[in-house]
Amino acid sequence: MKIHAIWRSTLPAVALTALLSGCTAIHVRPAIDTPSAIRNQTGFSLPPDGASTLPPGVDLSKPLTSDDAAAIALWKNPQLQVDLAALGLARGDLIDAGLLRNPRVDLIIPAGLKPFELLLNFPVEVFLSRPFRVAASQAAYDQLAQGLVQNGLNTLRDARLAHADLVLAKEREKAGIAASDLRKRIAQLTSRRLQAGDISELDEVAARSEEATASEQLVRLQHDTVIAAERLRILLGLSLDHPKIDVVTAPVAFASPPLPADLLEKALINRPDLRAAELGIVAATKRAKWEQSRILVLAGQLNSKGIGTNGILTSPGVSFELPIFNRNQGLIARADADVLAASKQYLNLKQRVAFEVYESRELLVQAQDALNRLRGQVIPPLQSAATLAGQQYEKGDVAYLFVLEQSRGLVDANLRLADTEAAVRRSQAQLERSVGTK
């Protein structure tokens, strides 16, 4: 009989606990879909879950374009995969924020003259602070999801830069081979002229010095090509035993970029890190409200106790702390400071975005102007001079050394041309990242 009495007295508490436990589930609300946002802003997709192959249409046995490198990087870049895994951590924090604290049960078993006693203590303040806690955690989740879109843009930018660096390294190596061969022939001709008594020994020493310098530079350029290929391989997340990477590039585009004001307006709308900073202010504000809700610590109680011949009596009660000394002042002040810091961070980032847009656009215009001058004003006269020198040599009007000297100027100009084309590609990649979209 006593057991049945205990059960009847505790049944309301058990039912209340079961009812409250149904309120603990929290579902992640994907306010920001990181994969979709990256696809919309870049035109490239993240891999589906469990994908281990390459993006559709990409073949590593063929030379990679800049777009191929960007697509592979989004699929396989190791650091981006680590960054995206942080969403799972944020999801766990959000689930934890929605959970209620477990009720506490103190049970005294009747023995001898000691009566049965049961005390159920359930924290009530969690119902007051839970909405604020969940809102703060949700805002932090959204901020992280938006910030990861910027990580995707950075990954694309880095892949394009690494691709442009490898293209440049190959072009510089090709120009280095031509320069080394040219100076070797000049040195050989100079040596013959010295033997014939046409020049002094000082001229022959200078020619041999230039030949040695060109050979040393060629070795350095060959190492630069290997390093650039390895850097691109790491950014693309390809294995160490992967075959040598080859690249190909499209002709440099000469379309003038939009006006700075138009680009800045576009950047302020599309930059994911700027949106993440705005969400950071929202998250900090919601954390401040959560801390303000934690002033009162309140718990509901249900006490069941055996009292003589009256059986087991159950009565409710309340337990709470008096907020006299500790009213959560420290954490509230810290949360308010976080709001101020998030606001300042947003303003700072907004200024940096404007600087990045103006700088990257100016660098692109500068590189395009330099490339136009090289192609239109510098290289054509050098090509004409080299062609004319060859024609005069065939007629016997000039020595072959003069032909080589004219060709050397053209080789050096082609090397500058490769550097300038790479500068245009880098600037285009930086501008795309600065604006936040293609």
Give the residue among 83, 66, 73 at the shortest CA–CA distance from 233.
73
Mean pLDDT of the chain: 84
Contact 435, 261 (CB under 8 A): no
Tell which wins on pLDDT, 429 or 23.
Answer: 429
The secondary structure of residue 375, as a DSSP letter, is I
* Helix H or strand E segment including 219: helix 201-236
The answer, yes or no, to whether residue 299 has pLDDT greater than 90, is: no
Q: By the 8 A CB rule, do 168 and 419 touch? A: yes
Confidence (pLDDT) at 11: 47
Does 20 score more than 60 pLDDT?
Answer: no
Closest by alpha carbon to 269, among 433, 436, 397? 436
Query: What is the mean pLDDT of the segment spanning 121-125?
Result: 77
Give CA–CA dist 166/323, Å, rounded. Answer: 66
Q: How many residues are given for the chain? A: 438
The pLDDT value given to residue 276: 93
At residue 18's C-alpha, the angle toward residues 12 and 24, to 5°, is: 140
Report how far apart, in Å, the C-alpha atoms of 364 and of each of 264, 350, 394 are: 15, 21, 43
Contact 95, 137 (CB under 8 A): no
Contacts 24+ apart (CB under 8 A), 372-375: 372/254, 374/413, 374/416, 374/417, 374/420, 375/417
**How many H helices and E strands in the chain?**
11, 4
d(CA 428, CA 178): 29
Contact between 430 and 205 (Cβ < 8 Å):
no
User: In percent, how much of the chain has pLDDT > 90?
Assistant: 37
Q: Per-residue pLDDT averaged across 114-123, rounded? A: 79
Check pLDDT > 50 for residue 6. Answer: no
Return the bridge partners of 119, or none.
Answer: 106, 303
Lowest mean pLDDT among 13-17, 32-36, 66-70, 413-417: 13-17
Inter-residue contact 6 to 14 (CB < 8 Å): no
Q: How many CA atoms lie within 13 A of 281 on its CB side?
A: 12
Greater confidence (246 vs 389) lies with: 246
Nearest C-alpha neighbor of 98 from the set 57, 142, 136, 51: 136
| Radius of gyration, CA atoms only, the chain | 36
What residues contact 318, with CB distance under 8 A and at least 6 apart? 298, 299, 300, 301
- What pLDDT is attached to residue 235? 92
| CA terminus-to-terminus distance, the chain | 78
